[in-house]
Every structure is written in structure tokens, then in C-alpha cells.
Amino acid sequence: MSQENQPNPPFDPADAFAVPSEWAAETDAYPPRPPAAVFGAGQMSQGNPPTPPRAEIAPPSYLTPSSPAESYVDPDEMLAPVPRISISAFCERPETAQIIENTGSDRRMSRAHITVAMGGLPAAIEHFHDEGTPNLILIESGMRGRGLFDQLDELASVCDVGTKVVVIGATNDIGLYRELIRRGISEYLVPPLAPLQVVRTIAGLYADPDKPFIGKVTAFIGAKGGVGSSTLAHNLAWQISENCRVSTTIVDLDLSFGTAGLDFNQDATQGIGDALSQPDRVDDVLLERLMTRCTERLSLFAAPATLDREWELEPDAYETVISQIRSTVPHVILDLPHTWSSWVKNTLLLADEVVIVASPDLACLRNAKNMYDLLRSRRSNDLPPKIIVNQVGVPKRPEISVKDFAEALGAEPTLVLPFEPELFGKATNNGQMISEINATAKATLGIQALASELSGKEVDISTKTSLISKLLGRG
């Protein structure tokens, strides 16, 4: 393969099967594989032929590196965080290098350490002649014939045992794919690439075979205190579990003042505080002992809700415990306190969905916009945070209109809920959910609609479509 510095010809990354001129294949023949030139030799079976790539792995052909992530994000797809591994990428094209850089900033890659260099296979071979290999190597190469296999064989000879290799190629060739897999390559990707596609590939390579399941995490936080974030989080969890019939766990992370136990009329002697105090010991057995069952499908990790201790814990403790909980249940609702610290910020950045609750006043607008903008910029491969405007229509209170609130925020609210103090007050005092008090109240119907949206499950809402549209801020 020529290494001369020549200007790259125009290349459309939206063309899934376009091959740049300098990537012309030398030959379609697949030379015999030397027995020693196998990546991860001795660690994978060579008996059965590999399964070809699934069609849904590739993103839509209209997607380019600059396209918005939400155009192809699947809200129902849960990807496990990538473990603490080292990754080295060697690219041939600046576009690919940029995509890999963007991949490294994804929330699911926060534990991994990734470096990106240019030069493709030759650069990787030269680099690892004198350096130990990382856990994973990403290689971009436009070749597909003998030249590719010769260089891969040379790379294999300098790789440590256990190093995984992913090749980013130029053509959707099943024969090439099968030959690469037989040689121990972990995966073969073709353009157009997007950061989430690369994250999906890496996460799949390091998924825990003993715990392949991973639940969805939705984090609730108030734009300021007293806006009803905890109440809405608890009611939403109840709707997802009881009406959408999805097993759900509430994690009350307001350790000193949490109200989840009160809202469900539960007097838990143990809860999330015990798990956070000993994150290294957390396993399924300990979680089962610390968990309180509210219904058949709804469970609760209550907050200590005492002032006997100042909870100064490392962000890693929260991340470890939440990761363990999400491996046991399909949906996790995090009830976060209205505070700003490293662990709160980290928890929001790592959640699958974020819901910001605000009331229609100036302080809430400022705080909600700050959080919304931060999360939008730091979670570029995720759907934007959902905004709930709560307590609309408080008598004699000057308010910002929902229209003006949305314009200033730069996003339409997902849900707009009226001020209904009698309904919420009665539910809180009785240790009940609002749907148990009034199943046809506007707030009940709005929360049911949001539960259906977040869980992906239908819920029986006997009301007019126009009312639901209005509650969701679309009317």
C-alpha cells in the first residue's frame, strides 16, 4: 500500500459502500492463514463459521459524522458501560479519527482510556514493535487482499495474548468478514460510521457473559428544591411497574432527606446508604437484603433520611452500586437531590435518560437551562434531557408562560402539569400514589403518558388524544 502523501479524493461517508481510490483492493483472493498469525490465539474456537454482521448494526446511510445523534438513537437500546480498558486507534482518514475521538467522549466510555493516531496498519505495526499492546486496537485499512492479510499477520506477531482487534474497512464483503474473523479479528466495520456504532461494538466485545442483562436508568432531578421532582419520580416508577407492567426499582439518593419511604408508607431499616457504604461488597444477595418490596413489580432502595452521618462518598461508589442494581431489574429510577456535586454530575452524565423538573419561575428557568445545556453538550450520543414543567397555575403567583419558558430554554417541555395541591397533598399524607387517589386527574394522565414513553410499553389511558397532546406540551 502506497504511503506517499497525496491529497485525498472527495469521499462521501454517507455512501456505505464507497471505496476511496487509494483503498483499491490488491486482490480478492484470501491467502492461507499462518497458524501463528491469529489474534487472541488460543482464546477463541475456530470450529464453527462466524455469524455475519446483522443488517441493523450499520446506521442509516444518510447519517454522517456531523449528523445529530438523535436521528438514529434507539431509546430502547441499553448498552453496558465499557470497563476500564486501554484502546488504541490507528486511522487512515481524518473523518474516521474524528469519529473515534467523539466515541471516546461518550458517557459509556468514561472508564476507558482511548488514544487516536494516524497511519493505519503500518503505524500500528511500527508502534507496537517497541510498546506493549493495549486491550483493544482499532485499525482502519482500505485494503482487502493479500496486502491486508500480510500486514495483519505482522501485527499479530507483535500483539500480546488477549489483545482484541477491530478492523474498519471499506467494503461490505462477507467473504472478507469471514476470513478476518477466522484470523481472530473481533469485528469488522464499514462506513458510514457513527460514534454510537463504535461504542456498541466495543461494549459488545466486553459484555459480561455471566450478566448480559442491563436495565434502563432514568435520573430525576429538580431545577430547584420544592418543585416536586421526587414526587413525580415515585409516581412515574409506580406507573411503569403497575400499568406498564415493567419491573422497576426506585433508588432514593437524597440520603439525608429522602422521602421515598414516606411516599410508599415503608419504614425501611436498611437501604441504599448501606450499599453505598460498602460498594465493593455489593452483589445480588446484599441488594436483595437491602431492598424493600412495595408491590410485585416495584421495589425500593430507601434513603437513610437521618442526620446522624454526613455522606461524603466518592462518585465511584455511586457508579458501582447503580451498575449493580441495573443488572437486576429492567428499569431503575434515580431520585436525585437538588444539589450539585461531582457524584450528582457524574450520575446524570451516565444515566440513560435524564428528567429535569422545574416550576415556571425565573430561578428554575435559569437552573434548568444550565443543566439542559451541560447535558446536551456532554451527552452528544444520547437523547436530550426531558423537561417537566410542574405546578403551573399557582394562585396569585407571577409565572413565566410555558411558551416563554420553552423559548428561553431552547426546548419544548415533555410534560406540563397543573398545580393540584389537594390531589398531591392527600396522596402524600396517605402514603399513596396520585392515581390511587384520582385515576382521571390531569397529572395522573400526564404521568401515565410519560411512563409509556420511557418504558416503551402501552398503558391503558382512557382519555382523548387531544388531552394527552396538551399534557405533553404538544397542543
| AA letter at 445 | L
pLDDT confidence band for 389 (50 / 70 / 90): very high
Place of cell 493479500: 146
User: Which of 6-20, 191-205, 328-342 is most confident?
Assistant: 328-342
pLDDT confidence band for 97 (50 / 70 / 90): very high
pLDDT of residue 319: 92
Cα angle 268, 272, 273; round to 5: 95
pLDDT confidence band for 372 (50 / 70 / 90): very high
Q: Taking a C-beta distance cutoff of 8 angstroms, is the pair 192, 12 a contact?
A: no
- 197 pLDDT exceeds 50? yes
Query: What's the grid cell of residue 67?
Result: 449528523
Task: Find the distance separating the first CA and the last CA of the chain, reported in whole Å.
Answer: 59
pLDDT digits (tens, 9 = 90+) for 60-90: 332 333 334 434 445 456 777 888 888 999 9
pLDDT of residue 44: 37
C-alpha Rg value of the chain to the nearest Å? 26
- 25 pLDDT exceeds 80? no
Mean pLDDT value of segment 342-364:
95
Nearest to 148 by CA among 114, 117, 124: 124
pLDDT digits (tens, 9 = 90+) for 296-314: 899 999 999 888 888 889 8
* All domains in the chain, ordered by first residue: 21-205 (3.40.50.2300), 216-471 (3.40.50.300)
Q: Taking a C-beta distance cutoff of 8 angstroms, is the pair 227, 308 a contact?
A: no
pLDDT of residue 456: 85
pLDDT of residue 284: 86
Q: How far is CA 298 from the centre of its chain?
A: 23
- 96 pLDDT exceeds 60? yes
pLDDT of residue 40: 60
Q: How far apart are CA 335 and CA 260, in angstroms?
A: 8
Place of cell 400526564: 446
- 26 pLDDT exceeds 70? no
pLDDT: is 244 or 269 the higher one? 244
pLDDT of residue 8: 46
pLDDT digits (tens, 9 = 90+) for 135-171: 999 999 988 778 888 899 999 988 888 889 999 998 8
pLDDT of residue 191: 84
DSSP annotation string for 18-52: ---GGG--S-S--PPPPTT--TTTTSS--SSPPPP
Q: What is the mean pLDDT of the chain?
A: 82
pLDDT of residue 119: 93
pLDDT: is 136 or 7 the higher one? 136
pTM: 0.72
- 17 pLDDT exceeds 80? no
Q: How far apart are CA 447 and CA 238, in angstroms?
A: 10
Mean pLDDT value of segment 399-425:
94
pLDDT of residue 471: 52
pLDDT confidence band for 118 (50 / 70 / 90): very high
Nearest to 63 by CA among 101, 99, 104, 106: 99
Q: How far apart are CA 2 and CA 136, in angstroms?
A: 26
pLDDT confidence band for 252 (50 / 70 / 90): very high
pLDDT digits (tens, 9 = 90+) for 227-241: 999 999 999 999 999
Those residues whose C-beta lies under 8 Å from the C-beta of residue 209, and which sit 6 or more positions away, are none
